[in-house]
Amino acid sequence: MGLRTAALVLLLATSMTACGGSQDKARELVEVSQLKEVYDDLVQTTMQSYSPRFLEVMDEDIRTVLEDKAPFKEMQELFIDSYAANLQADELDAAIRAHFHPEQAKSIFADTPEGRGFMSKMGDAYSNAQDTFENRLKERDPEIVEVLDEMNTRFNR
């Protein structure tokens, strides 16, 4: 193996390890965040938009259909991927620490240009994942409507 080949292999191995590290850190950040609450709020809001159209279907049944068509696990994976793609491992560490020490984080992030830049990157990563999930939910509207329409018809008989 030549020197160039060895260097390329080392570079690829290092980049894959770094990516895996970012994935692990992103997963840790998602696990400590209140993403489940965000998901539940989104499902609740979406459920309320379907409820008037399908009067015979109970809200909990609508919720079940929505959770089946757009599961929480999918949202988690989108956030993990977005955080890993947009943030470095040290930035993800900082976000995790900020979660556990919000009073310190607020002053650090608000009072420094680097902190404001970091908050902007975090916001972009969050928005990208949220928007992607909401778009997927909208794309699945025909499937959702089909299931709810069938349920509505069944209950109307």
Find out whether 123 and 79 touch, Cβ atoms under 8 Å: no
**Who wins on pLDDT, 157 or 121?**
121
Q: Where are the domains of the chain?
A: 22-156
Cα–Cα distance between 157 and 153 in angstroms, integer?
7
Is the pLDDT at 137 greater than 90? The verdict is: yes
Residue 147 scores a pLDDT above 50:
yes
Tens of pLDDT along 44-68? 999 999 999 999 999 999 999 999 9
- Residue bearing tokens 């390329």: 8
- Residue-wise pLDDT tens digits, 4-40: 443 333 333 333 334 456 899 999 999 999 999 999 9
Query: What is the residue whose two structure tokens read 């770094």?
Result: 18
Contacts of 53 (CB under 8 A, 6+ apart): 148
Which pLDDT value is given to residue 51?
Answer: 95
pLDDT of 157 reads 59
Q: How far apart are CA 144 and CA 43, in angstroms?
A: 13
What pLDDT sits at residue 108? 66
pLDDT of residue 5: 42
Residue 70, phi then psi, degrees to nearest 5: -140, 80
State the average pLDDT over residues 137-155. Answer: 93
- pLDDT exceeds cutoff 80 at 79: yes
The residue behind tokens 């999918």 is: 74
CA distance 67 to 50: 13
- H helix and E strand count, the chain: 8, 0
pLDDT per residue as tens digits for the range 97-121: 888 888 887 776 777 677 788 888 9
pLDDT at 155: 67
Cα–Cα distance, 91 to 33 (Å, whole number)? 15
Q: Which pLDDT belongs to residue 16?
A: 36
The pLDDT assigned to 99 comes to 85
What's the whole-model pTM score? 0.79
Task: Decide which of 157 and 113 is more confident.
Answer: 113
